Amino acid sequence: MRKVVKFALPLLIVAAGVGAFAVLKSTRPQPEPLAVQERVWRVEVERAVARRLAPELVLYGRVETSDLLRAAASATAWVAEVAVRDGDRVTAGQVLVRLDERDFRPRIAQVEAQLAELQAEIESERNRHESDRRALAQERRLLALAEETVARQRRLMTQKLGAEQALDEAEQAEAMQALAVSKREMDLADHPSRLRALEARLADARARLDELLLELERATVRAPYEGLVTGVEVTEGDQVANGDVLVTLYALGRLEVRARIPAPYQGELGAALAAGEPLAAVAEVGGAPLGLVLDRLAGEADPSGVDGLFRIAGDPARLRLGQQL
């Protein structure tokens, strides 16, 4: 009996555990079924508009010009007036600086006097030539008379009727007259060379006068074109020497922008330029856009690239020489 109990007790315990599990399982609360929801994706909508687009390349450039004018003094003089300041915009023909004309007038008057003197010398030389030409004919007749006198005295000496002293005097007169004729002929022969020398001096004086008149004209320095003054080097009352810079300015219409184009893009842009394709650019100047157009590539390159030179399509007055873009 004890063996039966010992064997059946474990089975009863297992059966009780299984029964308890079954009761617990049957009496547990049932979970509500999960509702399947589709995922919501957030999107933004933009209307498509057809446009012509091209790749863009950001470059850094510098404003420069090939037409920077350094107006210099035409001669040593005093500055009488300075009519502009640094940064002024000037128009073609506008007065920039005036030099004192009194520093030019005396030298002009001196050369004009030399011209008048040379013209008088040339007129005198021509009158002298005409006088020598007329005198030569008379002196040749006098020489012929002197030769006849010598011949007559020699005949008288042959006939023992003349005096030896008279023959000597006749021969002396003949020699002196021959010398006068020779000198007169030499003067006539030298006339063209003397005249050319005087005319050369006259031409030199005229050239000098033209030079001085040009210096006087340039004593009033005017703007040759519409531009912007970048520097005023003098003030009223200064004394300047020939060649001293007075004012510097540049032409607004000759401004351009130089920017380095990296080497990988050099061939593509060069081919586009050769094909005549417009290559436009836009620079920000004072918060507003300014149009540019690639005009050409520089003549020299290096391994990093080549400089592109851009023509300004907008108002160049918005830019300043040396400005970075």
Same-domain check for residues 181 and 276? no
Residue 60 falls inside a structural domain: no
- Residue 154 structural domain: 105-217
82-100 burial by CB neighbour count: b if 16+ within 10 A, else e? bbbeeebebeeebebbbbe
Same-domain check for residues 235 and 271? no
Residue where one domain finishes, among candidates 217, 237, 259: 217
Same-domain check for residues 114 and 94? no
Residue 269 falls inside a structural domain: yes
Same-domain check for residues 93 and 223? yes
Same-domain check for residues 134 and 147? yes
Residue 49 falls inside a structural domain: no
CATH code (residue 245): 2.40.50.100
CB 323 within 8 A of CB 316: no
Residue 140 falls inside a structural domain: yes
d(CA 38, CA 23): 39
pLDDT tens track, the chain, 325 positions:
566 666 666 777 777 777 776 766 677 666 666 666 777 778 888 898 898 877 889 999 999 998 899 999 999 999 999 999 999 999 999 999 999 999 999 999 999 999 999 999 999 988 888 888 887 788 778 778 877 777 777 777 676 666 667 766 777 777 887 887 888 778 878 888 888 999 999 999 999 999 999 999 999 999 999 999 999 999 999 999 999 999 999 998 899 999 999 999 998 898 999 999 889 999 989 889 999 999 999 999 899 999 999 999 988 888 999 999 9
Same-domain check for residues 213 and 142? yes
Same-domain check for residues 124 and 159? yes
Same-domain check for residues 149 and 224? no
Same-domain check for residues 138 and 272? no
Q: What is the pLDDT of residue 136?
A: 78
Separation in Å, CA 32 to CA 27, 28, 38, 109? 16, 13, 19, 123
Residue 191 falls inside a structural domain: yes
End-to-end Cα spacing for the chain: 112
Domain count, the chain: 3
Same-domain check for residues 112 and 261? no
Residue 161 falls inside a structural domain: yes
Q: Is the pTM of this model over 0.85?
A: no
SS (H, E, C) 201-234: HHHHHHHHHHHHHHHHHCCEEECCCCEEEEEECC
Same-domain check for residues 224 and 269? no
Residue 181 falls inside a structural domain: yes
Residue 127 falls inside a structural domain: yes
Joined tokens for residue 184? 């007169």
Joined tokens for residue 268? 């593509």
Same-domain check for residues 228 and 124? no
